[in-house]
Structure 1
Amino acid sequence: MKQGKFFSGWLKRPAILIAGGASLLSSMVWAQDPAAETGSAALPKGAPNIVVILLDDVGFGSAGTFGGLAPTPNLDALAADGLSYTNFHTAGICSPTRASLLTGRNPHRTGIGAVMNSADDRPGYSGIIKDSTASIAAILKQYGYATAAFGKWHQTPDHELSQAGPFDRWPSGRGFEHFYGFQGGETDQFHPTLYRGTEPVDASLTHDYHFTNDMTAQSVAWFRNQRTMQPDRPFFLYYATGAVHAPIQVPQSYTDAFAGQFDEGWDVLRERIFARQKELGLFPADAELPTRPAEIPAWDSLSVEERTFAARLMEAYAGFVTHTDAQIGQLIEALKQSGEYENTIIFFVGGDNGASLEGGIEGSLNYLAGLIGLPEPDAGRLARIGDIGGPDAHTHVNTGWAWANNAPYQWGKAMPAWLGAIRNPLVVTWPARMADEARGTRRDQFGHVNDIAPTILDVLNLSLPDSIDGVAQQPFDGTSLLYSFADADAEERHDTQYFEVFGSRAIYHDGWFAAADHGRLPWTPPSPTPTSLEDDIWRLYNLDKDPTQTNDLAAQRPDKLAEMQALFMQQAAANDVLPLRGQVVVNRGIETIAGDRTTMTYGPATRGVPENGPPAMSNRSWQIDADLHSDGNATGVLGAVGGVSAGWSLWIDAAGHPNFTYALFDLQTLTLRSDQALAAGDRNVSVQFDYDGPGYAKGGKLTLLVDGVAAASGTLLATTPGLFTIDETFDVGLDRGSPVADYPVFNPFTGGHIEGFRITLIE
C-alpha cells in the first residue's frame, strides 16, 4: 500500500495546484533543444527566479511549523503560501546531502558519499565531485540564469582549499558566478572564516555581527543588484545557513527569550512536540512515539546542576532556530519589496540531516574535544553557563535534546538506519503559479534531496543536457516532484532510495524500510581501524502502517527482509557505495597539500590554508620558526591556526614580547612569554615541541626561543590527536576567524615585516 493512502484521511487534498495547469508551464520552453551543449542566449519571458534554502542539523521536530517549540513564523508563512512535504529525505549527513541536492544524483555517485572531513580512497567517498555530475547551478547558468551561493559550501576537498587552487570544485567551478560564505563544515558565527569568490575575506565585525545576518544582507544585495542591472535575467540563489550546526551561537536576546521553557527536560519536550504534531495533522492519532534509547539518560536521572546546564543549552538551540527563521524572513521580505517574490520558486529544506547527537550526553561548551577523544572536564562547566550561545564557547546541545528535536523519529544525524537522521521537512512555494485552494496543503509522497534539481528543470520544461563543458553527464537519480504539485493523490514515483553513512545503511522501497546500524554512536570518537559489518543486525519496517518506525518486522517477514537486503546491495553496487566501511580516525589514501613534505615555508601573505594543509603536527615533535624584521615596535600575530575553541598562535604582545599560546579545548591553555621585548632588526622567533610519544594525544615540552636562545618553556599535559577545528585556517601575519589567544580579533602583524614562517616535523 502506498504511504499516501495511509495518510489520506487527515490531509487536505486539492485536485489542482498549478493555476492554468500544465499549459502554463509549457509556455516556458526554451527556444532551442534543451539537450544542447549550451543554453539559449535569450531566456523565455517569465522564467521564474529560484531560491533554495538549506538549514543545517535541524531535526524534523525542531521548527514550530512542524510541531517544534521554537516559533518559526516566517516558515509558517511560507508553508501557508505553498506545499509542505512531510515524507521528504536527506542523505543523513552534511556534504552528501549538499552534493545530492545540487546535482540531482545519489551522493556516492557524485564522489561525496561521506562528509568531507571523513573522505577516503574509495571512489564513492573520495570527496572529489565528478564533472559528470554537474550542479543545477551550472545547468541553469548555461541557459542564462544568474547564479550565486551564500553560506555553507563544504564540498571542496581540503587539499584544494588553499589560494593555490585548483578552484574547479569551489562554488565558482560548480556553476556559481558569485560565492560569499565558508568552506568548512561549520564556522564561528561571531568570527567566521569567509571567502568571497575564491579569495579569503574578513567580515566587518561590528558589536552586533552575526554570520546569518551577514549572509542574508549579502544575498539581498546580490539579487537586488542583479535586478537593477539585468531586470529580465532570472536568478538562482542558493542560501545555505550554518544554523543550527554547532557552534550554537546566537545573539543573547534570542537565548534569553526561552529562559525557563525547557526546565521540564527532553522527555517531556519530546512528548509535547509529538502531541503538537498530531494536532497539526502531521501524524494520525494512533501513531506511536518510540521509547527513549537506553544510551540516552532520562532527564530525571540528571543532577540539578546537570539539568540547569542542559536547559540553558536548549534555550540557545531554540534561540538559534528562531533567529535563523527571522533572517530568512528578511530575505523573503526583500523579495516581496522588490516585486520578485510572486515569480520566485522557493525550496525550503528544513535541515541537511536530523539534529546532531554529537554534543554528547552531557552537552558541551567545546564539543569537538569529545569527538576526538578529549572530553571537557565536568569541573567549572556550570560556572561558565553564561558563555552558552556566546562568542567564547562552541556550544552544542546534549544528545537528549537532539533526540527530542528529531521527534517523533529515533536517533539523528549520521545514523541513516533511523528516520531521525534522514527525514527532514520540505516547503515549496511559487505564488504566481499556485492556486489559492492549494496553498497551505501537504504532500506525503516519498521525496529525496536528489529530487530538487530534476524538479527545477521539469518546472522549466528543460531536460538535463547530454554534456556540460564537454563532459558527458550521468543521468539524474532523483525524480521530479512536479507530478505531485497539482495532484496530492498522485501515485508515488520515487519508489526506491538507499541511504548510507559510515556503514549505517538503509533501503526504502514502496513503503518498506530495511536498515542496519553500524559502528560508533555519533558522540564517541571513531575507531582507529575499520570495523567489521558482518554482525550488524538488520531491521524491517512497513512505514505505510508504522510511520514512526516502532514495529520491527524482521523476525516476522524474513522473506521481505532478504528481498530488501538484496535490493540494498544492488543499489550499493550501482552507486559506488561498496566496499562498505565504518568511520575511521585517519583519512585513508587522501591527498593533502603537504603530501610527504616534512617542512614547509610560508610567505607573509599566506591566508586561508586548511588546518590539515601544513605538515601534520599531531602526535609527534615539531618546530615552527618565524623570520622577521622588526622596526623596534613589532606587535601582532606571526602565525596561527585554530580559534577560540582550540589552536596555537605565535604572536607578539602590545609590549613587544614574543608569546606562544597552545589552547587545548577546555583542558589546558598554555602561554609562553619572553621576558624581553623583541629588539629591532632581523630576528627569529621559534617554538620547539618535544613530544612524549609514541601514541596519540600525548603531552610534551614546549620551548619558546628568540634568535635561538630559550626564552620560556612549559609542559603540555596533552595535545590534539588530529585537528583543533573543522573550519578555522592556518594564516601568517594575522589570526583569521576567532582569536586563539587573548588579543584583539585578527591582531595583524605591524611594526616590521615577516620574511617567512616555517613548520618542520622532527623525527
Structure 2
Amino acid sequence: MARPGRSMRAVMRMLAGGSLLAANLAFAAAPPPVAGDAARPVADPPGAQHFAGITPATSSAPSWPEQPRAPKGAPNVLLILTDDIGFGATSTFGGPVPTPTFDALAKEGLRYTQFNTTAICSPTRAALLTGRNPHAVGMGHVENTSAGYEGYDSVIPKSSAFISRILRQGGYATAAFGKWHLTPQWEQSQAGPYDRWPLGQGFENFYGFLASDNSQWNPTLTQDNSFIDVATPPGYHFDADMADHAIRWIAERKANAPDKPFFAYYAPGTAHTPSHAPREWLDRFKGRFDKGWDALREEIFARQKALGVIPAGTVLTARPKELPAWSSLSADQRRLYARYMEAWAASIAYMDSQIGRVIQSLKDSGQYDNTLIIYIQGDNGSSAEGGMDGLLFQQSLLNNHAEQRAYALSRIDDIGGPDLYPLFPAGWGWATAAPFKYYKQIASYFGGTRNGMVMSWPKGIADKGGIRGQYHFVTDIMPTILEATGVARPASVDGVEQRPLDGVSMAYSFTAPDAPSHRRMQVYEMVDSRGIYLDGWFASMRPTRQPWTFDKPADPDKTPWELYDVRADFSQAHDLAARYPDRLRTMQQLFWAEAGRNHILPILEPTILPTGRPSLGAGRTGFRYPQGITRIPEDSAPHIIGRSYSVSTTIDVAGAPNGVLVAQGGRFGGWALYFRDGRLTYHQNALDPRQYRVVSDRAIGPGRHSVEMLFEADSHARGAGGTVSFTIDGQPAGQGHVPLTLGGWISHIEGLDVGVDTGTPVSDEYRSHDSAFNGRFDALEMKLID
C-alpha cells in the first residue's frame, strides 16, 4: 500500500525506469501513516501483490534485442555503375578516354569482357539491384515512359527486395550516391509515398537525384527523403561533391563502427547528357578527336586486340548505313562534332578521377584490401540520341525542336560549360561501342548491351590483372555480392515471399578463368529490338527505328532476324541465319517463351504521354500554392502543355515589386512569371535561342495589388504558342504573343517554384539566388481553362 510521500504512481515510474532496487527502497523508507489513515481501510492498488518479494537477486538477467551482424570477415562492397559508356570508350578496354582509376582496379583484379546490361538506364539499374530480369520487376523501359502493363509499369514489387535491403538486414551499413531513376513518376513529389525512393529500398542514406540526368554545375538534388538546396560556388561540380559525400559517409561509419562493413552504391550520371567538365579538363582533349569517328574506331580496335580484351580473330563491324562517313562531312561539321566528343571525354576522365578519390580514401583508412569493388562502366552502350548533328540541349530532342547548326557553331566554346546541356552526335556513340554494332537503345546487338566491367578484391581475388570471358548479365551481380559477403538471401522480406533470383553468381570465375559460363541463357527487349542468348549463340531482330527519332517501329512480324555464333564471332559480324534456319527458329520460339515468363508481353512502344498513368496533377483544373513552396515535379504541377491557363494572386509590397511569383523549369527550358522594376513579366524559355518575353504596359509601386496573367493557347497542339494578357488591380495591363512553347516536357530535372526560382533561372533577367519575391502575396492560384 502506497503511503504519503511515496505515491504508488512514483513507484510505478521507478519500476518502468528499470530500478527494482529503488522501488524496494521506496517502500521501506516510506513514513508511517498519519492519524485517520488507520481508521480508513485502503485496498492494495491493482498489481501491488506482484511487488512483494521482488529483489535484484530474484529478477531475471537483462537482455537486449539482438543486433544484426555481418558474417565475420565479410568485405565492404563498393558497387560503381556509370552511365551511357560503351565497351570501347575507356582506356581499360582500349578506348580513347584515359581512366587511370579503372585501369588500376583492372590491374589489381579482373576484367570481364562478356558482361552485359540492358539497352537503357532504368531497366539495367532495376536488374542490378534486384537480381531479377527488368520486365519481371516492372521496369521494361525507363520510368519516365512507364505504361499500364506488368512488365512496364515501373512499380518494382516488394517480392523483389533490393540487395541494399538484404545486406542491411545482414548487418551492413548502406548508402546510395548519384543517379537513381527507379521511382515511378507519380511518386517523386514531396507527397510521397517514399517506398520506392532509395531509403524505402533499404538504403540508410542517399545523396543524389531521382531523375534520369542532371546538370553537373547546378544539380537538383535529394538527400534522403528531401529535396535540398545546394551551394554551387565557382568551381563546383557534382562529381566532386558526390565523392566528398561518399568519402565522408565511409569515414563516419569506420569511426563509429569499425567492425561493421558497408555497402555503397555509387552511380555517377556523368556520361549521360549533359557533358559537363571543368575547363582545365576540357583543354586536355582539344584536338584529340579531329580525325573523326571512323579513324577513332580503328584505333580502338587495334588497342583492344593488343590488350587482349577481344579475341585475336575478332572482326571490326561496319558502320551502320544511317551514319555518315567522317570524310563526307564539311569542315564546320567536323569542328563542331569533335568539340562535342572532347566535352564527353573530359567529363568521363574527370569522373574517373573523383572515383579515384573515393578509392584512395579506402586505402588511406586501411579498408581497401577487404573491399569488393565492382566497377561497371556504363548501364548500356554509348548514346546515339544526339542524332546526326549532336545537340546543345538534350531537351531539344524531348520537345522535338530542331537545332540550327549555325547557332550551334556560334556556341561551340560553351560546349562543356554550365549554360548548355549537350549530347554528342550518334557517330561517336557508334565509335565508342567498338568492335560492336549499334549503340544505346538497341538491345539485339552488343553495341547496346556490352559494357566493360572490373572486379577488384585484394583479399578475395588472387589473379591480379586477369581477364575473364564468361558470358554474364547484370542480374548476376546481386548473387555474386551475396556469395562474397556470406549474407543469405531470405525467403521473405517484411513478410513478403520473395521471387527467385534470375541472376547467377560470378564468384566461381574468381579462381576459374577458363570455366564454362554459369549463365546459359538471357532474353533482351527494347521497343523494336529483341534478342536472345543461348549457350554461345545469339539471335537478333534487326532494329527498325533509330534512337534519335520518334518514328513508329516497323511491323515486328515482318522484321528479319539474324543469327550469330558468338563463341567464334565475338562482335556479331557474320550472320548465320540462312545457314541455320532451324536453330534460328528454335531461338525465336525461346524468345517468345521467355517473353511470356518475364512479363515482356505485350511488347509496347514507350511514350512520354502514357494513357491513364497515375498522376497527382492530371485531371485537376485548380491549384492553390502558398508562397515558398518549391520543387513540385512536373507530374504533380498543373499540366499546362496544350492548354490555356491563368495565374493570379494578391501581392503586398513595401517598394517596387521585384522577384518571381512562379517559375517552372530553368535554364534548360521552362516559363516564369515575375516582376522586374515593378513590371509584371512573362518569360517562355523554349531553349536557346527561342526566348520569348511579354512585359506589362505599366509598372506598379508599393501597396497591395491584385495581379493576373492569362495564357490563351493558339490551339491544343503540344508546343503551341499563345497570347499572354496581364490584369493589374482589375484593369488590363498589356498583352503579347508567344509563338512557341515546350511541347514534350517542360523540365524533367527542375520543378515548379512559388515565390522564388530555385536551381537555374528560367530568365536571364534574374539569378536564382536573388530571385525571391521581395514582398508577400496571398496563395497563388493557377487554373486550367480548357
TM-score, structure 1 length as denominator? 0.92
Q: Which amino acid aligns with 1:117?
A: N
Give, in angstroms, the shift of residue 725 of structure 1.
Answer: 3.0
Q: Are the structure 2 counterparts of residues 526 and 120 from structure 1 closer, same or farther at C-alpha, using a change threshold of 3 Å?
A: farther
Q: Which of 560, 568, 591 does residue 537 from structure 1 map onto? A: 560
Q: Which of 427, 451, 455 does residue 480 from structure 2 map onto? A: 455
Corresponding residue for residue 687 of structure 2: 665
Give, in angstroms, the shift of residue 133 of structure 1.
Answer: 0.7
- Contact kept? 1:526, 1:583, Cα under 8 Å: no
Give, in angstroms, the shift of residue 682 of structure 1.
Answer: 3.4
- Contact kept? 2:297, 2:432, Cα under 8 Å: yes
Does residue 565 of the first structure (1) align with residue 565 of the second (2)? Answer: no
Corresponding residue for residue 239 of structure 2: 212
Does residue 243 of the first structure (1) align with residue 270 of the second (2)? Answer: yes
Q: Are the structure 2 counterparts of residues 531 and 293 from structure 1 closer, same or farther at C-alpha, using a change threshold of 3 Å?
A: closer
Corresponding residue for residue 600 of structure 1: 623
Q: Which of 312, 326, 342 does residue 353 from structure 2 map onto? A: 326
Moved more, 292-301 or 277-286: 277-286
Q: Are the structure 2 counterparts of residues 659 and 177 from structure 1 closer, same or farther at C-alpha, using a change threshold of 3 Å?
A: same
Residue deviations 1:463-490 (CA, integer Å, cap 9, x gap): 3211111111101100000111110111
Partners of 2:390 and 2:416 lie apart in 1 by: 12
Unaligned runs of 5+ in 1: 1-37
Q: Which of 535, 541, 557 does residue 516 from structure 1 map onto? A: 541
Give, in angstroms, the shift of residue 748 of structure 1.
Answer: 4.1
Corresponding residue for residue 167 of structure 1: 194
Q: Which of 599, 605, 629 does residue 582 from structure 1 map onto? A: 605
Q: Which amino acid aligns with 2:494?
A: D
Q: Are the structure 2 counterparts of residues 462 and 225 from structure 1 closer, same or farther at C-alpha, using a change threshold of 3 Å?
A: closer
Q: Which amino acid aligns with 1:538?
A: W
Does residue 507 of the first structure (1) align with residue 529 of the second (2)? Answer: no
- Contact kept? 2:71, 2:486, Cα under 8 Å: no
Corresponding residue for residue 490 of structure 1: 515
Corresponding residue for residue 34 of structure 1: none
- Contact kept? 1:92, 1:501, Cα under 8 Å: yes
Q: Which of 704, 709, 712 does residue 682 from structure 1 map onto? A: 704
Residue deviations 1:424-471 (CA, integer Å, cap 9, x gap): 011111112222xx0111111111111111111111233321111111
Q: Which of 399, 402, 405 does residue 426 from structure 2 map onto? A: 399
Higher Rg: 2
Partners of 1:627 and 1:502 lie apart in 2 by: 49
Partners of 2:649 and 2:451 lie apart in 1 by: 49
Give, in angstroms, the shift of residue 761 of structure 1.
Answer: 1.6
- Contact kept? 1:188, 1:737, Cα under 8 Å: no
Partners of 2:781 and 2:744 lie apart in 1 by: 20
Does residue 718 of the first structure (1) align with residue 745 of the second (2)? Answer: no
Partners of 1:712 and 1:399 lie apart in 2 by: 45
Q: Which amino acid aligns with 1:44?
A: P
Partners of 1:713 and 1:357 lie apart in 2 by: 42
Q: Are the structure 2 counterparts of residues 387 and 558 from structure 1 closer, same or farther at C-alpha, using a change threshold of 3 Å?
A: same
Does residue 649 of the first structure (1) align with residue 672 of the second (2)? Answer: yes
Corresponding residue for residue 99 of structure 2: 72
Q: Tell me the secondary structure at the aligned position of residue 184 of structure 1.
A: coil
Q: Are the structure 2 counterparts of residues 547 and 684 from structure 1 closer, same or farther at C-alpha, using a change threshold of 3 Å?
A: farther
Partners of 1:316 and 1:96 lie apart in 2 by: 27
Q: Tell me the secondary structure at the aligned position of residue 432 of structure 1.
A: coil
Q: Which amino acid aligns with 2:457?
A: W
Identical aligned residues as a percent:
43
Q: Which amino acid aligns with 1:666?
A: D
Moved more, 584-593 or 337-346: 584-593
- Contact kept? 1:187, 1:242, Cα under 8 Å: yes
Give, in angstroms, the shift of residue 226 of structure 1.
Answer: 1.0
Partners of 2:703 and 2:527 lie apart in 1 by: 54
Corresponding residue for residue 93 of structure 1: 120
- Contact kept? 2:527, 2:604, Cα under 8 Å: yes
Partners of 1:626 and 1:52 lie apart in 2 by: 49
Corresponding residue for residue 643 of structure 2: 620
Partners of 2:386 and 2:770 lie apart in 1 by: 31
Where do residues 340-351 of structure 1 align in structure 2 (5 Å cutoff)?
Answer: 340-351=367-378
Q: Are the structure 2 counterparts of residues 682 and 469 from structure 1 closer, same or farther at C-alpha, using a change threshold of 3 Å?
A: farther
Q: Are the structure 2 counterparts of residues 70 and 263 from structure 1 closer, same or farther at C-alpha, using a change threshold of 3 Å?
A: same
- Contact kept? 2:541, 2:561, Cα under 8 Å: yes
Alignment length (residue pairs): 721
Corresponding residue for residue 8 of structure 2: none
After superposition, the CA RMSD in angstroms is 1.8
Does residue 551 of the first structure (1) align with residue 551 of the second (2)? Answer: no
Partners of 1:288 and 1:257 lie apart in 2 by: 31
Q: Tell me the secondary structure at the aligned position of residue 400 of structure 1.
A: helix
Q: Which of 653, 661, 671 does residue 638 from structure 1 map onto? A: 661
Partners of 1:75 and 1:39 lie apart in 2 by: 40
- Contact kept? 1:503, 1:583, Cα under 8 Å: no
Partners of 2:555 and 2:784 lie apart in 1 by: 34
Q: Are the structure 2 counterparts of residues 401 and 602 from structure 1 closer, same or farther at C-alpha, using a change threshold of 3 Å?
A: same
Corresponding residue for residue 59 of structure 1: 86
Q: Tell me the secondary structure at the aligned position of residue 632 of structure 1.
A: coil
Where do residues 75-474 of structure 1 align in structure 2 (5 Å cutoff)?
Answer: 75-435=102-462, 438-474=463-499
- Contact kept? 1:526, 1:585, Cα under 8 Å: no
Give, in angstroms, the shift of residue 104 of structure 1.
Answer: 0.5
Give, in angstroms, the shift of residue 195 of structure 1.
Answer: 0.7
Q: Tell me the secondary structure at the aligned position of residue 682 of structure 1.
A: strand
Q: Are the structure 2 counterparts of residues 717 and 342 from structure 1 closer, same or farther at C-alpha, using a change threshold of 3 Å?
A: same
Partners of 2:469 and 2:493 lie apart in 1 by: 34
- Contact kept? 2:696, 2:734, Cα under 8 Å: yes
Give, in angstroms, the shift of residue 661 of structure 1.
Answer: 1.1
Q: Are the structure 2 counterparts of residues 101 and 208 from structure 1 closer, same or farther at C-alpha, using a change threshold of 3 Å?
A: same
Partners of 1:297 and 1:240 lie apart in 2 by: 33
Q: Tell me the secondary structure at the aligned position of residue 420 of structure 1.
A: helix
Partners of 1:642 and 1:376 lie apart in 2 by: 20
- Contact kept? 1:615, 1:761, Cα under 8 Å: yes
Partners of 2:468 and 2:669 lie apart in 1 by: 45
- Contact kept? 1:628, 1:756, Cα under 8 Å: no
Q: Tell me the secondary structure at the aligned position of residue 752 of structure 2.
A: strand
- Contact kept? 1:670, 1:714, Cα under 8 Å: no
Partners of 1:223 and 1:194 lie apart in 2 by: 20
Q: Which amino acid aligns with 2:517?
A: E
Which protein has greater RCO, CA pairs closer than 8 Å, 6+ apart?
Answer: 1
Unaligned runs of 5+ in 2: 1-64
Corresponding residue for residue 30 of structure 2: none
- Contact kept? 1:632, 1:678, Cα under 8 Å: no
Partners of 2:322 and 2:691 lie apart in 1 by: 32
Q: Which amino acid aligns with 1:317?
A: W
- Contact kept? 1:641, 1:729, Cα under 8 Å: yes
Partners of 2:777 and 2:476 lie apart in 1 by: 51
Corresponding residue for residue 7 of structure 1: none
Q: Which amino acid aligns with 1:680?
A: P
- Contact kept? 2:670, 2:742, Cα under 8 Å: no
- Contact kept? 1:88, 1:446, Cα under 8 Å: yes
Q: Tell me the secondary structure at the aligned position of residue 639 of structure 1.
A: strand
Q: Tell me the secondary structure at the aligned position of residue 124 of structure 1.
A: coil
Give, in angstroms, the shift of residue 389 of structure 1.
Answer: 0.6
Q: Tell me the secondary structure at the aligned position of residue 299 of structure 2.
A: helix
Corresponding residue for residue 52 of structure 2: none
Q: Tell me the secondary structure at the aligned position of residue 609 of structure 1.
A: coil
Q: Which amino acid aligns with 1:273?
A: I
Q: Tell me the secondary structure at the aligned position of residue 484 of structure 1.
A: helix
Give, in angstroms, the shift of residue 70 of structure 1.
Answer: 1.0
TM-score, structure 2 length as denominator? 0.89
